[in-house]
Amino acid sequence: MRTKFVVAGAACAAFAVTGGVALAESGGAHGTKAAPVAATAAAAPKSLTLVRYFGGAQRKHWVTTAASPGPLYRREGTFRILAQPVSGTRALYSCLNGYVLLDQFVSTRSDCESSKSVFLGRIGYVYVKPPKGVKVKPLYRCSIPTGSHSEHFVSSRSDCERRPTSGKLVVEGRLGYALA
């Protein structure tokens, strides 16, 4: 679709937008010369959905941008993170705790914070600080340290949603800022 905007005045200009490419015309309202014009609005970075699941035979959390870890898991929450790095972001990694059975967690370190932990892969990017002009919300890593059944999950709330209702809850820190 071709849309033409004409600006009247001493220096008349017209812009034609064709398939997302802007062209500037000169020579009055009936200009005949066209030249490419740089786009003024930056394209929004591609985002991924980070999903917090709960369930499975072990009744634990799993946080991923991939498919559900199994049929017994249900979605508990979603967060939008960046698919590619942009200025002011850092990577998030999926890791498996080497000390506790099926304790998957999200880390900002590719070494998964321990030689005993297993690196599962990079899952996306978050902003280190809230950028100007981008709506974001914080993303926290939380844990429920209960010995051999310990587990991790992520939350956008600094109190980790006061989970669990009984037992100890640890807010391990802010991973960064996800898209709002």
Separation CA 138–CA 157 (nearest Å): 7
Question: Token match 């099926």: residue?
Answer: 102
Enumerate the β-bridge partners of residue 143: 152, 170
Check residue 30 and give its pLDDT. Answer: 41
Q: Compute mean pLDDT per 10 residues along the chain, 180 residues long, and list them.
A: 33 30 36 41 83 90 95 96 98 94 94 95 98 96 85 94 73 97
Local structure of residue 110 (DSSP, 8 states): T
**What pLDDT does residue 15 have?**
26
Q: Which of helix, strand or coil describes residue 147?
A: helix
The predicted structure's pLDDT at residue 40: 41
- Dist CA 97 CA 76 (whole Å): 21
For the whole model, what pTM was predicted?
0.74
What is the token pair recorded at 135? 């709506």
| Range 29-49 burial, b when 16+ CB lie within 10 A, else e | eebeeeeeeeeeeeeeeebbe
Burial tier of 148 (Cβ tally within 10 Å: 0-12, 13-18, 19+)? exposed
pLDDT reported for residue 8: 33
pLDDT for 29 = 41
Residue 116's pLDDT is 93
